[in-house]
Amino acid sequence: MKLSDSIQFVKGIGEARAKLFARLGIHTAGDLLFHLPRTLEDRTQTKPIAELMDGETVGVCASLAGGVKSYRSRGRLSVTQATVSDGENMMKVTWFNAPYVSKTLSSGSEFIFFGKASYKGSSFEMVNPVVEVFDGENKKTGRLLPVYPSTAGLSQTHIRNAAEKILDGLTELPKDILPSKLCDKMSFPPLYSALKELHLPKSAESFEAARQRLAFEEFFILQTGIHTLGEERKKFRAVPINDVKCIADFAKALPFELTNAQKRVINEISADLKKNSPMNRLVQGDVGSGKTMVAAAAMYAVAKSGYQATLMAPTEILAAQHYKNLKSLFEKFGFETVLLSGGMSAAEKRESLKKIKDGTAQIIVGTHALISDSVTFKNPALVITDEQHRFGVRQRTLLTEKGYGAHTLVMTATPIPRTLSLILYGDLDISVIDELPPGRKPIETYSVAEHTRQRLYKFITQKITEGRQVYIICPLIEESEALAAKSAVEYAEKLKKTSFKAFSVEVMHGKIKTVERKEIMERFARGEIDILVATTVVEVGVDVPNATVMVIENAERFGLSQLHQLRGRIGRGEHQSYCIMFSEGGKIADERMKIMCKTNDGFKISEKDLELRGPGEFFGVRQHGLPELKCANLASDMELLVRAKDGVRELLAADPNLEKPEHLALKNRVRERFAEVGENGILN
């Protein structure tokens, strides 16, 4: 069998199963070989029944102590039941909808049952245990088993069997893309042994060693690609901004005193701006910590020195909001601010483009329209991206390239693991705004059940009467934006006709045209709308301090970080704010609700999020327009990452375009992986 053979050549895989594999992106034998398990399941432990503990998952070696009963329950489920004995004690075993176990149970005398032992009344019981004849050649029990990412209809056994057959039948070895010297230095096992160990693990230690080998490889590919993407940028020199002391004048003109944290971060940025090597800094600050003012201070110093400063936001609404605020702020100083975003008319765009090009505009705000080819800057010196996690790596790089050596600042409310920031930005500096403006009252957050709804509506009515405004976030519908929009509209209609007849209720969702969306947001900001029923389009950055109540429907469907982002829309002004979440429960959901009710601290929340979701899903690199990591763990593989980075640096120093024949396989793999996420032009 060859690596490129279709998996339908593997015994036991027919057309139907091949389709299931295809859903996981597995089409060839080679694909399956590189479909790697996430974890191990330890089935080596067996115990006598006398030593079992309630709730533990364990193997029991036992024989039948009587007949096997099979019947259909009233719910039409097929049930198979037996009592088994290990010679001293008995245990009950039950299977639902597994008629085939009768056959297994009639094909031997001694068996291993592996499952969760529960103590019921007077004896132990296992429901749906894995069972096989105990004959010294066990496949399913008594050993370590790999656990793969899978899809509905495709069992772990299917994947395990297929992987085993491929390992047996292959007549060629996969190409090792890591330089062999590096593998020696890292004491890695050869690629094929590592793959074999992952699919047929011998011990937890050797499995981990093999996993590290492949995790390192993933980091290596990722770093090589990113390095190539970012290469352009390094050639540029930045414009040194000599006068940063002038920021004091800016601060004096503000209606409030900057917080100490804001001052500290502005100082850190100022020190960077003075240099002629580009600033590469990330500003982390929880929602409402006042990142925009920090950005504005830097923009002020740049404009004052006669250069242009740009702020790029991920959505039209956010760009419009920044534009409005910065325009009125900078008018006082005689600077011109322009907006450039996709939703503008052709004439408006032309006007902005002209001012960007001839230098009339010093302060430039926009969406990713700013990275289109038609934009030419006169003398740019600073590029800021807000809520950076919404942008792909490529988009940011492009803006920086356009900025021609500009100082770069990225701002985010979502703390990202150090590993990920290293991957995304390289060795960037981090500033943290760890203080909220004074007078902010912590948001009171409650998780409530359906029966409190009428009471909540009364509360909302009272708050609106007091002059406040309300967000109601609709249930998250993942199937499609169109469905989500429909449900939001219906929901708003219902509220308009029933509980909130007396008020102005508007709806906001992703299907509404950008211009209209902006207009709705402006009316909401002016206080003309009492209740805004919205999908998650309001999630990022929107600032209406008078809105103090947020209701989140079906909160169990949202992740922690997203709930926190949503909640960040309130608690932005002088009045006490309230966040009320309706949740249908579930174990993880309950855990999330508890955390939301307990803390307003974004850093704590994101830590918890990482823990609850598992590193694979958390803030995946995929979201940033990079190939997904399958083996590497962003929470715990920091050291591997650092070593991979060093390795890549060394390799590219010797062979920048990977032109040496021994690097061809690596080059191809980097191209392949990045092509998967639409990055086709790298390493030509």
Contacted by 218, from Mg ion, ligand ADP, none: CB < 5 to 8 Å by type = none
Smallest Cα–Cα separation from 568: which of 287, 316, 355?
A: 287
Piece of the chain touching Mg ion by CB under 5 A; list 153-161, 493-501, 536-544, 611-619: 536-544
Q: Which is nearer to ligand ADP, 413 or 520 (CB)?
A: 413
Binding track over 489-528 against ligand ADP, x by CB under 6 A: ----------------------------------------
8 A C-beta contact, residue 406 and residue 241: no
How many CB atoms sit inside 10 A of residue 374's CB?
A: 11
Distance in Å, CB of 605 to ligand ADP, minimum:
15
Size of the site for ligand ADP (CB under 6 A): 18
Minimum Å gap between C-beta 385 and ligand ADP is 13
Name the packing angle between helices 204-234 and 191-199 (round to 10°): 130
Q: Which two tokens stand for residue 529?
A: 């709308």
- Which positions from 199 to 218 touch ligand ADP by CB under 6 A, shown as an x/- string? --------------------
Interface positions, 563-622, toward Mg ion (CB under 5 A): none
Q: Considering the complex, state which of residue 507 and residue 521 has its C-beta at the smaller distance from ligand ADP.
A: 521
Closer residue to ligand ADP (CB): 308 or 321: 321
Q: Which of 426, 313, 409 is nearest to 367 (CA)?
A: 313
Identity at 18, one-letter amino acid code: A
The token pair that represents 393 in the structure block: 């790596």
Contact in structure between 24 and 149 (CB atoms under 8 Å): yes
What is the nearest approach in angstroms of ligand ADP to the Cβ of residue 316?
17
Instruction: Determine the Cα–Cα distance for residues 473 and 579; give it in Å rounded to an integer.
Output: 11
Neighbours of 8 (CB within 10 A): 13
Report residue 531: phi and psi, to 5°: -125, 125
Alpha helix positions (H), 247-314 = 247-252, 260-273, 291-304
Residue 62, strand partner residues: 111
**Residue 293, binding choice from ligand ADP, Mg ion, none, Cβ under 5 to 8 Å by partner class:** ligand ADP
From ligand ADP, Mg ion, none, which one binds at residue 262 (CB under 5 to 8 Å depending on kind)? ligand ADP
Q: Applying CB under 5 A, does 541 fall inside the site for Mg ion?
A: yes
Using the rule CB under 5 A, give the single segment among 11-19, 121-129, 538-546, 600-608 that binds Mg ion. 538-546
491: Cβ contacts below 8 Å, ≥ 6 apart: 472, 474, 507, 533, 553
The answer for 401, left when phi > 0, alpha when psi is -120 to 50, beta otherwise, is: alpha
State whether the Cα torsion 433-437-441-446 is positive or negative: negative
Q: Please name the helix (run of DSSP H) or strand (run of DSSP E) that holds residue 441, with its range, or none.
A: none
Contact status: 258 vs ligand ADP (CB under 6 A): yes
* Closest to 320 (Cα-Cα) out of 343, 303, 302, 336: 343
Q: Work out whether 291 is an interface residue with ligand ADP (CB under 6 A).
A: yes
Does residue 288 touch Mg ion according to CB under 5 A?
no
- Helix 156-169 vs helix 191-199: angle between axes, to the nearest 10 degrees? 150
CB-closest chain residue to Mg ion: 541
Residue of 80, 141, 212, 262 interacting with ligand ADP (CB under 6 A): 262
- Residue choice 80, 292, 305, 445 for contact with ligand ADP (CB under 6 A): 292
Binding of residue 256 to ligand ADP (CB under 6 A): yes
Nearer to ligand ADP, 297 or 344 (CB): 297
Give min distance, CB of 545 to ligand ADP, in A.
6
Stretch that binds ligand ADP, among 48-56, 222-230, 280-288, 469-477 (CB under 6 A): 280-288
Q: How far is the CB of 180 from ligand ADP (least distance, A)?
A: 49
Question: Which listed option, Mg ion, ligand ADP, none, makes contact with residue 285 (CB within 5 to 8 Å by class)?
Answer: ligand ADP
Per-residue binding letters, 425-464, with ligand ADP (x by CB under 6 A):
------------x---------------------------
- Binding segment for ligand ADP (CB under 6 A), chosen from 3-11, 281-289, 472-480, 558-566, is 281-289
Query: Of ligand ADP, Mg ion, none, which one does residue 100 interact with (CB within 5 to 8 Å by kind)?
Result: none
Does residue 285 touch ligand ADP according to CB under 6 A?
yes
Instruction: Give the largest CA-CA distance in the chain.
Output: 93
* The two three-digit tokens of residue 582, written as one number: 């309706």
Task: Confirm if 93 and 129 have CB atoms less than 8 A apart.
Answer: yes
Stretch that binds ligand ADP, among 180-188, 258-266, 495-503, 511-519 (CB under 6 A): 258-266
By CB under 6 A, is residue 608 in contact with ligand ADP? no
Residue 322's binding partner out of ligand ADP, Mg ion, none, with CB under 5 to 8 Å set by partner kind: none
Say which entry of Mg ion, ligand ADP, none residue 256 contacts (CB below 5 to 8 A, set by partner kind). Answer: ligand ADP
- Residue 436 CB, nearest distance to ligand ADP (Å)? 8
The least distance separating ligand ADP from the CB of residue 398, rounded to whole angstroms, comes to 23
293 lies in the site for ligand ADP, by CB under 6 A:
yes
- Nearest residue to the partner ligand ADP, using Cβ: 290
CA–CA distance, 146 with 207 (Å, rounded to integer): 9
- Closest separation in Å from C-beta 541 to ligand ADP: 6
Residue 398 is classified by DSSP as H
Nearest to 307 by CA among 248, 236, 361, 268: 361
Least separation in angstroms between residue 413's CB and ligand ADP is 6
Inter-residue contact 8 to 18 (CB < 8 Å): yes
- Name the minimum Å distance from CB 588 to ligand ADP: 27
User: 76: which 2 tokens?
Assistant: 């039409």
The yes or no reply on residue 417 touching ligand ADP (CB under 6 A) is no
Task: Rounding to the nearest 10 degrees, give the CA dihedral for residues 60, 66, 72, 77.
Answer: 0
H or E element at residue 408: strand 407-412
Amino acid identity of 621?
V
Q: How far is the CB of 321 from ligand ADP (least distance, A)?
A: 8
Binding piece for ligand ADP, criterion CB under 6 A, among 15-23, 117-125, 283-291, 462-470:
283-291
Pairing of strands 90-96, 123-127: parallel
* Integer Cα distance of 539 and 484 in angstroms: 15
Nearer to Mg ion, 294 or 596 (CB): 294
The answer to whether 289 contacts ligand ADP (rule: CB under 6 A) is yes
The Cα–Cα gap between 304 and 247 comes to 9
Instruction: Determine which residue in the list 349, 390, 509, 572 makes contact with ligand ADP, applying CB under 6 A.
Output: 572
Amino acid at 477: I
Show the tokens assigned to 464: 């609106």
Distance, CA of 529 to CA of 547 (rounded, Å): 10
Partners of 280 in beta bridges: 408
Interface residues with ligand ADP (CB under 6 A)?
256, 258-259, 262, 285, 287-293, 413, 437, 541, 543, 545, 572
User: Residue numbers of the site for Mg ion (CB under 5 A)?
Assistant: 541
